[in-house]
Chains A and B, each alone.
Chain A
Amino acid sequence: MSVFHRIVRWAQRKSPWILHFNTGACNACDIEIIAALTPRFDLERLGVQLKGTPRHCDIMACSGPVTRQVKDRLVRIYEQVPEPKLVVAVGTCATSGGVFNGLYNVMGGIDQAIKVDAYIPGCPASPQAIIDGFAKLIKSLEMSPQPRTTAASVTTEMSPTAQGTVPAVTAEEKK
């Protein structure tokens, strides 16, 4: 890996900047993402920050299912995010369309439109699961020698909290 890529990888590991894209479905996952940033969970202490623009983000956190009218915009924003980039599908709808799968205006999960690197299931994905998912993703970046690769094997452990969190899985494990 070149020096440049090592630096970028280090920056991503230490303080990934997240772009939050929501397709506008029920918004429960979006609220849980924001909740993950509030005092009880405080995702920011892991260095994670929400940034508004695609140009400056490392990770796209997408919530909600892909509807017909949102697909193009999702793809275009994805194209604006510079490499190396990662995409996280937050919530069951972003993973597979969830309970809306099969409705006439819903095409399915985020991977109907763009490549996804990690899936965080849950309806909604709880803040604990979201933190767990991002922590695993960041850890998997450390283990991977190339930028923008699917993660090497990462063990899936049950989150220690008792509140019905579901373990996050990487794209490899989903297959």
Chain B
Amino acid sequence: MSDEHRAVAASDIEAVAADLQSKFTFPEGALKVQRATRLWVEVDQGSFAEVFDHIVKNLGFSILCTITGLDLGTDLGLIYHLARDGGIMANVKTRVPKDQTMKSVTPYFAGAAIYESELEDLLGARIDGKPPGPRYPLPEDWPQGDHPLLKDWKPKTVPGEAKPSPEGEKGAASNG
């Protein structure tokens, strides 16, 4: 960025961080300014709704870039990648036990439905309040309860189908 732009963004992000510190209590290391346009904040499930609402409604983060889901073992990790005009991102992280439901953020972002569909299809997230629609991205006839992005997921072969070559061996054989 130009020095001027960087200075503006830097002071912007410090202001955002300061505001969050003043409104909420975060454990050590939960709030991080990674660089002039990247802020990360990790919150527990209980505080998520309030923090998210504040960041979106009061701090002007009106862009939801996407939602990343991660398999953390017993929990699902979720990162809501928010942004606002001027270039700063606020990445809000939380985690939820795999069998627990979480609330849809479509009341804030109509476009979130497709990102939440991805979480449901690929990681088995349970999302309450998402508007109905076709599944995404897996095909209609993909079995229910089968979530490929989970770490312990193994591809199944359907009788009569060619077996995909094992990824592990393939990776080792070719030059890294």
Contact = CB atoms under 8 A, between A and B. Distances in A.
Direct contact of A and B (CB under 8 A): yes
Interface of B: 139-142, 148, 155, 161-162, 164-167, 170
Contacts, number: 26
A102 B139 contact: no
B164 A101 contact: yes
Contacts of A101: 164-165, 170
In the A-B complex, list the 4 residue pairs whose CB atoms are closest, starting with the nearest: A69-B139, A104-B155, A102-B167, A102-B165
Interface of A: 68-69, 101-108, 112
B149 to A, nearest CB: 10
B150 to A, nearest CB: 12
Nearest to B167: A102
B141 A102 contact: no
Contacts of B166: 102
A69 B170 contact: no
A51 to B, nearest CB: 28
A107 B167 contact: no
A68 B139 contact: yes
A123 B98 CA distance: 40
A108 B162 CA distance: 8
A112 B158 CA distance: 14
